[in-house]
Amino acid sequence: MKGVVLAGGLGTRLYPLTYATKVMYHGAMKRREIDLDVVRQKYYIDCLSQDQIAKQLNVSQWVISNRINVAGLERLSRTRKLNPRKYSINHYAFDHLNGKTSWLLGWMASDGFVRPNSRLGLKVAAKDRDIVLKFKQHLSHSGPIYNKVQRLESMKKDYKLVSIEVSSSRIAQKMADFGIIPNKSLVLTYPLLIARSDENIERSFIRGVFEGDGSILIEKERSLLFQIVGTYKLCLGVQQALIRYVKVGETKLTNNIRGRNHYALRYRGRYQVLKIVNWIYKNAGKNVLNRKYSKYLELKRKFS
């Protein structure tokens, strides 16, 4: 281990040159400081090893390891890069905000995931395979779509799922710009970049959120219930957009799970619900989940 030997009354000791250790080095006091944000970027986003980061920053690997430990960062497996499978992907697929990308961002906010190593993707019920195909097509991704079975022990039932997972530090960073980060489910907010955009961008984003984490239910035969679930700030942002563009009233957000940041935005009444979903699917084109769009058309015919 590289260090500096200091002699004192208690004997000779070796002090490592860490990011926060002051030592006498060649007659001058030195302080080795490593920016934690730089370490995060290189370790999680750029997928560099600790040794590679150390060489770039001109410090020892021990210094980087110590910085990760002290900051309480999650260590990645040393074998994560062995035998990687290479697939083509358009790393610039989310560089421009438009109707399609904002819709897919809404899906990522609801049913998407981002991992610390820049891997990200979408996982949905097998019956909604079409959204995964559309996501794959938008990314120009040459990799596979995965079919999985997930066991829900509380209900003693197996669920068929379909998913896509890709690797792109550029797209992962774009997702982070919209607050779509690892472990987003309890911290996600309504993206400021979406709120500051035009009506079509907001509508497309909300459509993706609704198709992933929303529903329309029939109540008492002739009444309808519209709902979206998510964090408090996400639901609040959706509500503010609906008030602004659809002219609905303000409703109280319901805390679904006590003690957790999990809320529901709900609107009731045939007229009000149809008004909302008519706006959501206005000028949607092909940027829809087939199952939800068909359900919308069915309810529109029945309740209009």
DSSP symbols for 191-214: -HHHHTS-HHHHHHHHHHHHHHHE
Can you give the pLDDT at residue 10? 35
Torsion of CA 6, 10, 13, 17, to 10 degrees: -60
Return averaged pLDDT per consecutive 10 residues of the chain, 304 residues in all. 37 38 39 74 73 86 86 69 66 96 98 94 97 97 92 83 95 96 93 97 98 94 93 98 97 91 96 97 97 96 90
Task: Supply the pLDDT for residue 83.
Answer: 40
Phi, psi torsion values for 153, nearest 5 degrees: -65, -35
Whole-number pLDDT of residue 126:
96
Alpha carbon distance, N-terminus to C-terminus of the chain:
76
CB distance 267 to 273 below 8 Å? yes
Burial letters 152-169, b for 16+ CB under 10 A, else e: eeeeeeeeebbbbbbbbb
pLDDT at 257: 85
Indicate the helix (H) or strand (E) that contains 274. Answer: helix 270-280
pLDDT of residue 30: 47
Which of 45, 44, 43, 46 has the alpha carbon at shortest distance from 54?
43
Instruction: Report if pTM > 0.85.
Output: no
Per-residue confidence (pLDDT) for residue 16, from 0 to 100: 38
Residue 46, pLDDT score: 65
Q: Can you list the domains of the chain with their CATH numbers?
A: 3-71 (no CATH), 207-303 (3.10.28.10)
